[in-house]
Structures are given as C-alpha cells and as structure tokens.
C-alpha cells in the first residue's frame, strides 16, 4: 500500500511539475485541520490549541510551498489557568498549581464541616469543578438539663440549635449543690461537654465553740447553704465570721473563735486607751478585749521626754512594754511620763500633749 502511494506521488509530480507536501509538523498542545496524507501547492492547514490550552503567540496557519516544503505555523499553546480560589473561611486550601488538570484540596478547621467536595479540578474551560465548598459550624441539639438543675443562660440559634463553642450556664434548684462546671459548650463532635450534677446535700448540727454558743439551732439535718450563727459569752470577742454555712461536702464552713479578754495590772499607769488618756484603774475591772491596744508612756534615759509604746491584748495575753516603770514611793518628786513632751526620735510614736 505504501509503495502504491509513493508511486502515485511520483506520477503526480511528474505530471504537474510540482512537488507535494507531506503532513506538517506537530505543535505541542495543538491540532491542525484538514488532515490529509498529501498536500498540494498552496494547500494550508490551520492550528488550534487542544482543549484546556490557549494560544499565547504566533501564527496559526501553515502553507504548502511549490518546493514541497511548508511555511510552518509558529503558534505557541499553554495550559489555561484557573482563578485563585482565595481563602476558605474557617478552613484551609492546599494546591501546587492553578493550571488545567491540577487539583486543589479543601479542609475545615476544628468545629466546622465541609459543605461541598473536598477536592476541585481545573477544567478545560478554566473553571473549578466542583465549585469551591464552604465551611459551616458544627451544630449541637438543645443542651441536656441535669436532674434538679436548670438553665441559667441559654440563647439558642435559629432552629433551636447551638453552634460550635456556644456556651450554656447551669444552676441548681434551691437546696441542691452543684458538682462540676457550671457551664458547658458545644463541642467539635456535635455534642455538649460534660454537664454538672445537682445533688441533695445535708449537714449534721455543728458543734459548739469554746466560750461561745449557737443561736437557735435544734438538732436536725441542715440543707446545703443553710447557715447557723455563733456568739460569745460576756467579755469574749468573736474572731472570724459569725455565720457558718453547710457546704457541698456535707461539712460546715470555718467556725469563729471566742477570744479571751486581758487583765491590765498596771493600775496606776496613765495610758492611751480608746483614743483618750486614762488611768488603768479607771478601765472597768481593768479588763480590755481581745484586739484592744493600750499605749504606755516611757521616759527616755535622761528623763526629760517620753515616747509611747503599744501593747495589744491577744486572746488573754497582755504584756506591758519593758520600758514602762511603775511610779515608786518618791515619784511625786519627778514628772510623770505622760506629762513629758514627746521625744523627737525617728522610732518614737508621738504621744498627745500633756494634760
């Protein structure tokens, strides 16, 4: 067959005196028409870029010349480009190229679901198929409510649903104690995080405190957060909160203590007490309460001025400052410390002017 074609070509050339052209050269990513075995003088072919490619430059027509060779086309084709997919809100886009035949891959952040395909391909028309998807938040159904509990803060969205990381706050009915977190959130799994428990808690009647008493508190079981009140016997001072509460562990919160008064023995001393000068023997029963401060006047070494020193009653314990000296038999020959001017020293506490 090939031999017959060659013979036909030689015969045609000998008759016409013109040479025939064989097929023109191939161009990358392009096709030409018409497609024949032989082309005569002045026959032409037209090139077009293959599907998915587009012309960049050059001439797209080739011409068969009398000498049997081609005036070749110079067309150049390249792959079409698809538009940049941009940013996927709440997700990621991964790709290497954006040209025909390439792929892009999509993924969503935690708490979001992909609505659409997770992959798109750049088609021969220069568009992505399927279209770029969207990341939509995962939703949760209405939150569960624990036994003896209630919803304190809950704002559902359209359709009575909640979205990823939406919060809800719980509370317990009166007399019930909460165990666990007071809030829950919509998780990436479409379920709510752990909700708290509400339990019925009871406390036994608390014990008495030394030197004190409980106000009316009969022997019975007390409910969660129920309170009892403490008091102290005369001359004792309550140190701490007067109320104690039944806590969630079935125990009572911190109880107060009753602190003892102090007996001041320096009855001849003139002191500062409750903001005024007085003799100790003028204080009722020479007793001061826990936390009270008595300020003594002490002479300096030369005896020409006085400085003050504080002493505090601490649960029945009271110490007279070492610098204070009781007036002796001949004290009427010297000026009492509380009548002397204050010593101007950096460490002295200035006393009030002498009476």
pLDDT of 303 reads: 76
pLDDT of 267 reads: 86
**Which residue, chain included where needed, has tokens 């990436």?**
188
Determine the Cα–Cα distance for residues 274 and 264; give it in Å rounded to an integer.
Answer: 14
- Residue 308 CB contacts under 8 Å (≥ 6 apart), including other chains: 272, 295, 296, 297, 298, 342, 348, 349, 350, 351
Structure tokens at 294: 């008595």
Helix (H) or strand (E) holding 2: helix 2-16
Using a CB cutoff of 8 Å and minimum separation of 24, what contacts does 24-28 make? 24/62, 24/70, 24/72, 24/73, 25/70, 25/72, 27/73, 27/75, 27/76, 27/77, 28/77
Do the Cβ atoms of 232 and 212 come closer than 8 Å? Answer: yes
What domains sit in the chain, N to C, each tagged with a CATH number?
A: 27-79 (2.10.70.10), 91-137 (2.10.70.10), 139-199 (2.10.70.10), 202-259 (2.10.70.10), 262-339 (2.10.70.10)
pLDDT of 18 reads: 73
Q: In what order do the strands lie in the sheet with 183-185?
A: 149-153, 167-172, 183-185
- Give Cα 13 to chain centroid, integer Å: 89
**Residue 114: φ, ψ to 5°:** -80, 120
Do the Cβ atoms of 29 and 47 come closer than 8 Å? Answer: no
pLDDT of 239 reads: 96
Which residues partner with 254 through β-bridges?
none
Q: How many CB atoms lie within 10 A of CB 259?
A: 20
**Residue 280: φ, ψ to 5°:** -60, -35
Structure tokens at 1: 């067959």
Determine the Cα–Cα distance for residues 161 and 142; give it in Å rounded to an integer.
Answer: 6
**Residue 10: φ, ψ to 5°:** -65, -40
pLDDT of 4 reads: 47
pLDDT of 346 reads: 45
Cβ-in-10-Å burial (0-12, 13-18, 19+) of 354 comes to middle
The answer to pTM > 0.75 is no
Which residues partner with 136 through β-bridges?
113
> Quick one: which of 93, 122, 95, 115 has its CA closest to 106?
93
Per-residue pLDDT of the chain (355 residues; tens, 9 = 90+): 444 444 444 444 444 557 899 999 999 999 999 999 999 999 999 999 999 999 999 999 999 999 999 999 999 999 999 999 999 999 999 999 999 999 999 999 999 999 999 999 999 999 999 999 999 999 999 999 999 999 999 999 988 899 999 999 999 999 999 999 999 999 999 999 999 999 999 999 999 999 999 998 999 999 999 999 999 999 999 999 999 999 999 999 999 999 999 999 998 899 999 999 999 999 999 999 999 999 999 988 887 899 999 999 999 999 999 999 887 655 566 788 888 899 886 444 433 333 3
pLDDT of 300 reads: 87
Helix (H) or strand (E) holding 273: strand 270-273
pLDDT of 333 reads: 61
């Amino acid at each position: 067959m090939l031999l017959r074609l060659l013979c036909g070509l030689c015969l045609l050339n000998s008759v016409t005196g013109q040479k025939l052209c064989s097929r023109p050269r191939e161009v990358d990513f392009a096709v030409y028409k018409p497609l024949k075995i032989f082309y005569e003088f002045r026959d032409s072919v037209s090139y077009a870029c293959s599907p998915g490619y587009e012309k960049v430059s050059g001439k797209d027509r080739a011409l068969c010349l009398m000498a049997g060779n081609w005036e070749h086309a110079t067309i150049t084709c390249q792959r079409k480009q698809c538009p940049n997919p941009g940013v996927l809100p709440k997700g990621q886009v991964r790709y290497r190229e954006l040209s025909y035949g390439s792929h892009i891959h999509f993924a969503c952040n935690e708490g979001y679901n992909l609505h659409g395909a997770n992959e798109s391909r750049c088609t021969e028309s220069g568009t992505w198929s399927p279209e770029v998807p969207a990341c939509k938040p995962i939703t949760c159904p209405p939150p569960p409510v624990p036994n003896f509990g209630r919803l304190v803060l809950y704002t559902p969205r359209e359709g009575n649903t909640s979205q990823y990381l939406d919060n809800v706050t719980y509370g317990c009915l009166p007399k019930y104690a909460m165990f666990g977190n007071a809030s829950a959130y919509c998780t990436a799994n479409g379920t709510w995080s752990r909700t708290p428990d509400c339990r019925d808690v009871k406390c036994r009647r608390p014990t008495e405190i030394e030197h004190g008493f409980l106000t009316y508190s009969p022997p019975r079981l007390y409910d969660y957060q129920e309170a009892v009140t403490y008091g102290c016997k005369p001359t004792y001072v309550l140190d701490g909160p007067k109320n104690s509460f039944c806590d969630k562990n079935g125990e009572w919160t911190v109880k107060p203590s009753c602190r003892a008064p102090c007996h001041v023995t320096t009855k001849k001393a003139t002191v500062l007490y409750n903001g005024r000068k007085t003799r100790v023997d003028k204080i009722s029963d020479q007793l001061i309460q826990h936390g009270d401060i008595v300020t003594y006047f002490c002479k300096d070494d030369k005896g020409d001025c006085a400085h003050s020193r504080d002493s505090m009653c601490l649960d029945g314990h009271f110490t007279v400052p070492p610098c204070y000296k009781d007036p002796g038999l001949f004290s009427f020959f010297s000026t009492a410390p509380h009548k002397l001017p204050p010593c101007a020293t950096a460490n002295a506490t200035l006393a009030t002017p002498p009476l």
